[in-house]
Structure 1
Amino acid sequence: MNVAVEHIATDQPPDDAKARDLDYGWQSGNRIELLENGEAYFPKVFEAMRVAQREILLETFILFEDKVGFELKAILIDAAQRGVKVVASLDGFGCGELSTAFLRELAEAGVVVQMFDPASKTLGIRTNWFRRLHRKIVVVDASVAFIGGINFSADHLGDFGPEAKQDYAVQIVGPAVADLHHFALAQSGRQVRTRRGWRRREQRPTPWATSDENGLVRLIYRDNVQHRDDIEEAYIHALSKARTRAVIANAYFFPGYRLLREIRNAARRGVHVQLIMQGQPDVLLAKLAARMLYDYLLKDGVVIHEYCQRPLHGKVALIDDDWSTVGSSNLDPLSLALNLEANVLIRDRAFNQQLYESLEALARDHCQTMPAKRKPRLWLWRLTVGFLVFHVMRHFPALTGWLPAHKPRLKPIESPAHDV
């Protein structure tokens, strides 16, 4: 039995760039709900899929064959069998261990499975490490959308144990769903038709909305063509306007100098700036790299917390009392310079307060706070390691540019036993 899997072999938008390189502005009148961890996220997403009538569009970096993955598979198969158009776009690295049998069941039911840049193992090692499809987006019937940092895997549930991830996503209902729907269709290679509420903008609107209206949402994303810096620029712009508070919770924190400078400058002018980092990292290098920046930030009044209960996987931030962002993008070279990412910017006071209370409780109850004046310890070793880590991380995107890049294309593949 052949398994039909479409391979997206690209680190850029597909060939029809005019139809797919879109820029989205602020949409008002949305209802936004914060979903913390898999306990809140999976029931909402699965229920929306179960009642889908026309279409399910899904993008995810990771899908595992565990209790979450099997439940998702059953829901997608049921939807496809009752006539719902189902398109699942999966990353070839993050979903690289999915079995042929798992994919076959989806394909036989009519689910369109797309694999972004798959690669066979070399000497038992996967080589497609960089330029990943890192987005996590679900759009159902063009009426409800979900976006954030949560993958479809059981390690986002508390009962997974000490390695369960702390993470966030949002559910959106309202006009902004049309933009997310349009974007998901375009990026998946599906035919995009112009409809009311879908608007292409030749000029990029400011990342900062001027209206006092709540429920404002704007989709932003990064690719490797015309939107390389959109997410980083949104952070920089928001921090430059911060007046009272700024809270950033990010799993992998090693941003460029411009963003670091805005964080430091905000603290210097009296903004209460808090960073929530990994204290129990799933990647040790991430913690080491972030700590290289602590002294630079602490001396100007930035408060740094390390979350120590379990691995932090969140990618969220808030500024003052009404600006927030939730999405897939970390603040490190992979997300800011290589991966395909998507966030939403939100101007809504109630949502901002809800996110603030959640992060404040996290910092208060489950974090250790770094002392403002740390005692020098093994300073020569720290200086040497810090120098090496800093320059490797800063030049990492340029170094990966030496690796072969793929020609943008959508290539249907049929293989009786494709190893993904």
Structure 2
Amino acid sequence: MPVPPVRRPRPGHQVTLLQGTAEYFPALVAAMDAAVSDIQFETYIFDCTGSGAEVAHALMRAAGRGVRVHLVVDGVGTGQLPPEWQQGLVQAGVRMQVYSPLGPLGLLLPRRWRRLHRKLCVVDGRVLFCGGINVLDDFHDPHHGRLEAPRLDFAVQVQGSLVAQASDAMEQLWWRLKAGQDARQRRLALALADWRAARSAKFKARHAERAGRGMRAVFLLRDNVRHRSRIERAYRRAIARARHEVIIANAYFIPGAKLRRALKHAAGRGVRVQLLLQGRYEYFMQYHAARPVYGALLAAGVEIHEYAPSFLHAKVAVIDADGARPWATVGSSNLDPLSLLLAREANVVVKDRVFARELRARLVHAMEHAGRRVEPGLYARRPWRMRLLDRIAFGCMRAALWVTGNRY
């Protein structure tokens, strides 16, 4: 069955790959410190422990000098900020919204399973940051404490026309959340005036910018209205066109039937398919529900490596980096039902040989120096208790999808 087309990449972009908070936070803070008009920021987790405080302070510095700062955090990933940080942000002038607060029934309501999982920042309408990295120190985990090695994760810094697309998407979400709050407080007229002033300033800033030569890139959203399957379609289309190599690094890998078939078909026609997946136990559902998928992929010739030193949080892929049509993506979307069917996600796709080669080199290094290859024989002989837990988790995942009315 043919894969539906996706939006074509546009030329004229500059895209820089950033690995981990050691590269991401300094670039992000530098852009925020140079901001003159506005900062739009969305993240699933906003944790001020360790180096996460650097981002919070940069937002407060920007707001303090008159920059319009909009911060949106997820109601599950972030929860309640410590009072001292919440007060500091508000007093500095940071305007903050919480996406889908849980309420008294929490996640018992299926509609609360739709989360804001994308990690985006646009500064002055001229530079975009997009990826899988939260505001969370790479050596700190809220559930597991201090980590011996940093998470493996990536983001990109982008300049070019797709920055405006990301900014518009973030602006729409902000004012949707704001309108709900203002309607309850009867301040819609004031909110509309604020919106018009902000959009006018942003239009002027964009109109002054000129795009030059550069990389071809496209911004992909996943939501529950117009873009329900755009990111998955982009993956399937790229895999279907692969001729030499597919490398995917994904934290929570539970692909649906169509994506599994695409990977198996690629391996069957001689493409080398390598997966770098989560090797450490983080969450019961995601860890165990992924394992039943391994068998069919291994039997088809797909190589699976599990990342061992720390938690793998990457959501990236590179295809045919040295071929005629190199393809790479960096973003927030896992290849699991939550990301592909429910959550708001954002990925950047780059069609550039230099960028693809750089991402490939980092993934190959991680597989060779920090990955454990899953051998088909050992996988087939894993203990019955492990197989039972895997089946239970996989069954729970399918049941949860049935409750939401989604097919995967």
The CA distance in 2 between the partners of 1:220 and 1:306, in whole Å, is 27
Q: Which has the higher contact order (CA 8 A, sep 6+)?
A: 1
Question: Is 2:279 the counterpart of 1:296?
Answer: no
Moved more, 335-344 or 72-81: 72-81
Asked if 2 retains the 8 angstrom alpha-carbon contact of 1:59 and 1:137, the reply is yes
Which residue in the other structure is 2:71 paired with?
88
- Give the paired residue count: 364
Asked if 2 retains the 8 angstrom alpha-carbon contact of 1:36 and 1:167, the reply is yes
The CA distance in 2 between the partners of 1:24 and 1:113, in whole Å, is 32
Which residue in the other structure is 1:260 paired with?
260
Aligned-residue offset at 1:74: 1.9
What is the identity, as a one-letter code, of the residue corresponding to 2:348? V
Q: Structure 1 residues 381 and 280, CA, compared in 2 at 3 Å: closer, same or farther?
A: closer
The CA distance in 1 between the partners of 2:160 and 2:54, in whole Å, is 27
The CA distance in 2 between the partners of 1:329 and 1:232, in whole Å, is 9
Question: Is 2:168 the counterpart of 1:182?
Answer: yes
Which residue in the other structure is 1:405 paired with?
none
Asked if 1 retains the 8 angstrom alpha-carbon contact of 2:17 and 2:155, the reply is yes
What is the identity, as a one-letter code, of the residue corresponding to 1:296? A
Asked if 1 retains the 8 angstrom alpha-carbon contact of 2:139 and 2:147, the reply is no
Which residue in the other structure is 1:354 paired with?
358
Asked if 2 retains the 8 angstrom alpha-carbon contact of 1:37 and 1:157, the reply is no
Question: Is 2:36 the counterpart of 1:53?
Answer: yes
Question: Is 2:119 the counterpart of 1:141?
Answer: no
TM-score by length of 2: 0.82
Aligned-residue offset at 1:196: 9.5
Aligned-residue offset at 1:165: 1.6
Asked if 2 retains the 8 angstrom alpha-carbon contact of 1:90 and 1:116, the reply is yes
Task: Select the residue among 327, 334, 338 that pairs with 2:342.
Answer: 338
- Aligned counterparts, 1:70-219, within 5 A: 70-120=53-103, 130-155=113-138, 160-162=146-148, 164-189=150-175, 192=199, 215-219=215-219
The CA distance in 1 between the partners of 2:214 and 2:243, in whole Å, is 19
The CA distance in 2 between the partners of 1:185 and 1:354, in whole Å, is 32
Residue aligned with 1:324, SS:
strand
Asked if 1 retains the 8 angstrom alpha-carbon contact of 2:41 and 2:70, the reply is yes
TM-score by length of 1: 0.80
1:288-318 per-residue CA deviation (whole Å, 9 max, x = no partner) reads 2222111100111101001101110000001
Q: Which has the higher helix share?
A: 2
Aligned-residue offset at 1:182: 1.9
Q: Work out the percentage of aligned pairs sharing the same amino acid.
A: 38
Residue aligned with 1:292, SS:
helix
Residue aligned with 1:293, SS:
helix
Consecutive unaligned residues of structure 2, counting only runs of 5 or more, are: 1-5, 176-194, 207-212
Consecutive unaligned residues of structure 1, counting only runs of 5 or more, are: 1-22, 199-212, 403-420
1:126-145 per-residue CA deviation (whole Å, 9 max, x = no partner) reads 76862110010011111111
Structural RMSD (CA)? 2.7
The CA distance in 1 between the partners of 2:204 and 2:87, in whole Å, is 37
Residue aligned with 2:234, SS:
helix
